Amino acid sequence: MTPEFTNYMQLALRQSFFAIGVSRPNPAVGAVVVKDGIVVGKGRTQRPGSAHAEVMALRDAGELARGASIYVTLEPCCHYGRTPPCTKAIIEAGIKKVYFVHSDPNPVVHGKSRQILENAGIEVHEGLDACIEACVDDCLNGDSAAAGECRVFEFKSFSTQDKAAREAEGRDVFREVERYFEAYDYFVRFKRTFVEVKSAISQDGFMGCVGVSGEHLPLMITKAGANAWNHELRAMSDAVLVGAGTLLADNPGLDVRYVEGNNPVKIVWAGHHEFTAEEISRLNVFKSQDAVLVFSCVNQPNIPDAVLLMHQTFADNWRAMIENLSSRGMHRLMVEPGAGLARELFKDEANKKQDEVPLWNRLDLWRSTDVSVDVSLENCIVNGSAQAGLEYPELPQGLVAKESAVIGPDVLTVYYK
């Protein structure tokens, strides 16, 4: 029987999702404490000046932390800031082993914690090794399951097949954690928000329909698997942005529904559209209790707290918005553009000078292979009234496809500059 795995580092990563939007501008970190194969403590980073994930997990574990292992998504801090070092708390709690994945890019921490912990007699695993060592079996339908026990795999006791499966699981978790901290690394290095664009198109390159009056009409393109992936991206983002056209056509809620995590801050790129009182009354983003930010190039008398952008070009206004979000300590902005906003982003990115700040950093482009998702001119019918398919704009030259994945009928390609 092929083993099925639980990974303690994956559990720590799940904890970290609930710190997003809470710990800002500090990184959102998760931790779990494990003793004798049982999770005895969980924790995630609290508000700035409050406890970090390791301390919360150790508090949750109490005396059970002595002789236990702790699994942390990010290298524990080792300096005095607003709080004492997490390395100190780990040592004083009597932790026997420490596993962490991502090295903290902050130079006051980077690469220093391992030596401190090892000098205290603690065994330390990091990176891919930590993710592989974090794997345990899921109580298969054998003797151990009948006894109500989960056997923690010892690496040397694996069969060749089990070793390969465990290593594959560890690599998957490692990539997920590294992906999670991509925006934090960028924020530490450049003091700017990492901008991630997500789009979905049909196999023939359309992303929606155009109505008989020229209005944009929504179309469901991706299926459940890709939609869950997209909601996980929302959950790991500080904020999610849509343009006025998408907001009026789709009326999205922009919340997290298919995965666990906090709702991101909702951002509306109004551009030159002035929202009427009637529009605001029916749009879901303005009905929710979550935070909403509106960035506009024109006055918004019905949205008195809208941030007014006064520059001449789209690119300059967009960069001004990113500066605003960066000053708020936001690490990752997820952008779900309509055709118009995508066209502006790609056009201005293609014309960007070498020393200018990029408008975006990563593009996640989903393409459906489902032939039933056909929005060509003759088949683009929504409620019996549509005149054309809405084409996705041409991508800028010079992009590099670095990752790909297939979930059901949907194919993801990830582009970087």
Continuous segment of H or E residues that includes residue 96: none
Spatial distance between the Cα atoms of 209 and 374, rounded to a whole number of angstroms: 10
Q: Would you tell me the crossing angle of helices 339-350 and 314-327 to the nearest 10 degrees?
A: 100
Mark whether 54 is an active-site residue.
yes
SS3 call for 399: coil
Spatial distance between the Cα atoms of 127 and 114, rounded to a whole number of angstroms: 12
8 A C-beta contact, residue 222 and residue 410: yes
Residues near 141 by beta carbon (within 8 Å), at least 6 away in sequence: 1
Spatial distance between the Cα atoms of 183 and 189, rounded to a whole number of angstroms: 10
Nearest alpha-carbon partner for 373 in 226, 215, 223, 225: 223
User: What string of DSSP letters covers 374-388?
Assistant: --STTT--STT---E
Task: Supply the DSSP symbol for 63.
Answer: G
Which amino acid makes up residue 182? Answer: E
Which one of 4, 54, 149, 391 is the catalytic residue? 54
Spatial distance between the Cα atoms of 146 and 21, rounded to a whole number of angstroms: 42
Which amino acid makes up residue 237? Answer: S
The count of residues in the chain is 417
Positions marked catalytic = 54
